[in-house]
C-alpha cells in the first residue's frame, strides 16, 4: 500500500507544481499551489512528521494562500497582458540550466552507494511516533528554545514591516 | 519499497520546477509562488533526512523554514502592492530602474 500512496501523492504534487508555473491566470496558479501544498502535507505524514504536516496545512495552505488570494483580488491579478513568459532564447537557457541541476542530482543519487544500505535500514526502521506533537514540542521547548523565541521576533518584525509598507508613502 | 532516494529525487524535481518557474515567468506573483515551491522542496528534504537519522532536528528546522517563509511572504506581498501602485502592472521586465 505504501508505494501506491507515495506515487499518487508524488504525481499530484509534481503535476500541480507544473501547473502553477505555466498557467496564465494567477488565481488558477494559486489554486494549484494549494493542491501542491496538500500533497506535500500528505508526504510529510508518510514520513512520520505529523506535526509538520499539520503546521503546513495551517500556515501554508491556510494563511499564505489566503494572503496571495487577497493580493490578487486587490490588484486584479496584476492586469497581466501577453506575453506571459520571458523571451524565447532566455527561456530555453533557463529550462536547460534547471534540467542540468536535475540531471546532476540523478547522477549523484545513482552513483553514491557507500551509505546506501545503512541509510535504507535506518530509513525503514525509524519509529512511527517520531514526529508527533509531543516529541517535536519537547525538542522545540528545550533544545531549540532560543530559535523559537527569535522566530516570534521575526514574525513581529514582519508584521510591522508589512503594515508600514502597505500604508503608502508618508507625506 | 519506497526508500530515501525516492523522497530526495522528488524534492530535487520539485526544486527544479520551482527554479524553472522563477526564471521564465514575468508576473511577480507567479515568481513568488515558485519561490514557495522551492521552499517546500527543501522542507521535504529536511524531513526525509530527519526520518533517516531518527532525529528531530530536521523537523524543527522545517518548522522554522515555514515560519520564516510566512513572514517573508507577508513582506514580499506588501512590496508587490507598492510596485503595483507605482506602475499599475506586475511585469518584472519593467522593473529596470537600476540598469545603467
For chain B, the straight-line distance linking the first and the last C-alpha, in angstroms and rounded, comes to 56
Which residue in A has a C-alpha nearest to residue B80's C-alpha? A71
pLDDT of residue B54: 84
Q: What are the DSSP calls for B31-56, one per residue?
A: HHHHHHHHHHHHHHHHHHHHHHHT-S
Mean predicted lDDT score pLDDT of chain A: 87
Chain A to chain B, count of Cβ pairs less than 8 Å apart? 244
Nearest-Cα distance to chain B for A96, in Å, is 9
> Tens digits of per-residue pLDDT, B3-45?
888 899 999 999 999 999 998 898 999 999 999 999 999 999 9
Q: Bridge partners of B27?
A: B91
Read off the C-alpha cell for B65: 523554514
**DSSP labels, A89-100:** HHHHHHHHHHHH
Residue A129 to residue A148: CA distance in whole angstroms: 22
The pLDDT of residue A78: 66
What was the pLDDT predicted at B11? 94
Whether residue A115 is predicted with pLDDT greater than 70 in this model: the reply is no
Q: What is the pLDDT of residues A55-67, one digit of tens each?
A: 999 999 999 999 9
The per-residue pLDDT for A42 is: 95
Per-residue pLDDT at B90: 86
Phi, psi at residue B98, to the nearest 5°? -90, 5
Q: Determine how many CB atoms are found less than 10 A away from the CB of residue B3.
A: 13
Compute CA distances A48 → A33, B16, B44, B51, B65, whole Å: 23, 25, 12, 7, 18
The pTM score is: 0.91
Residue A118's pLDDT is 67
Q: Report CB contact under 8 Å: B52, A123.
A: yes
Q: For residue B25, is it left (φ>0), alpha (ψ between -120 and 50) or beta?
A: beta
Q: Could you give the ipTM of this predicted complex?
A: 0.93
Q: How many angstroms separate the CA of residue B99 from the nearest CA in chain A?
A: 18
Q: Rounded to whole angstroms, how far apart are CA atoms B95 and B100?
A: 13
- At A147 the pLDDT is 94
pLDDT average, residue stretch A131-154: 91
Distances, alpha carbon A161 to alpha carbons A39, A165, A167, B71, B78, in Å:
31, 6, 10, 10, 8
All residues of chain A having their beta carbon less than 8 Å from the beta carbon of residue B80 are 71, 75
pLDDT at A13 over 80: yes
Amino acid at each position: 500500500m505504501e508505494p501506491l500512496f507515495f506515487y499518487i501523492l508524488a504525481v499530484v504534487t509534481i503535476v500541480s507544481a507544473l501547473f502553477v508555473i505555466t498557467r496564465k491566470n494567477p488565481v488558477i496558479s494559486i489554486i494549484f499551489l494549494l493542491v501542491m501544498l496538500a500533497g506535500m502535507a500528505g508526504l510529510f505524514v508518510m514520513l512520520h512528521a505529523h506535526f509538520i504536516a499539520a503546521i503546513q496545512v495551517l500556515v501554508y495552505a491556510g494563511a499564505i494562500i489566503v494572503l496571495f488570494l487577497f493580493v490578487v483580488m486587490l490588484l486584479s491579478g496584476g492586469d497581466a497582458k501577453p506575453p506571459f513568459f520571458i523571451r524565447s532564447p532566455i527561456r530555453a537557457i533557463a529550462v536547460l540550466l534547471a534540467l542540468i541541476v536535475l540531471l546532476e542530482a540523478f547522477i549523484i543519487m545513482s552513483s553514491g552507494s557507500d551509505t546506501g544500505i545503512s541509510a535504507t535500514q535506518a530509513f525503514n526502521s525509524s519509529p512511527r511516533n517520531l514526529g508527533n506533537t509531543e516529541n517535536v514540542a519537547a525538542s522545540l521547548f528545550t533544545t531549540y528554545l532560543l530559535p523559537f523565541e527569535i522566530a516570534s521576533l521575526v514574525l513581529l518584525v514582519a508584521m510591522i514591516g508589512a503594515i508600514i509598507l502597505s500604508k503608502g508613502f508618508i507625506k | 519499497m519506497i526508500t530515501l532516494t525516492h523522497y530526495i529525487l522528488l524534492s530535487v524535481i520539485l526544486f527544479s520546477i520551482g527554479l524553472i518557474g522563477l526564471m521564465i515567468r514575468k508576473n511577480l506573483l507567479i515568481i513568488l509562488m515558485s519561490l514557495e515551491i522551492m521552499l517546500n522542496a527543501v522542507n521535504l528534504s529536511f524531513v526525509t533526512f530527519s526520518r533517516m537519522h531518527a532525529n528531530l532536528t530536521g523537523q524543527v528546522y522545517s518548522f522554522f523554514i515555514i515560519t520564516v517563509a510566512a513572514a517573508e511572504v507577508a513582506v514580499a506581498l506588501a512590496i508587490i502592492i507598492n510596485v503595483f501602485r507605482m506602475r499599475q502592472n506586475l511585469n518584472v521586465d519593467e522593473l529596470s530602474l537600476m540598469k545603467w
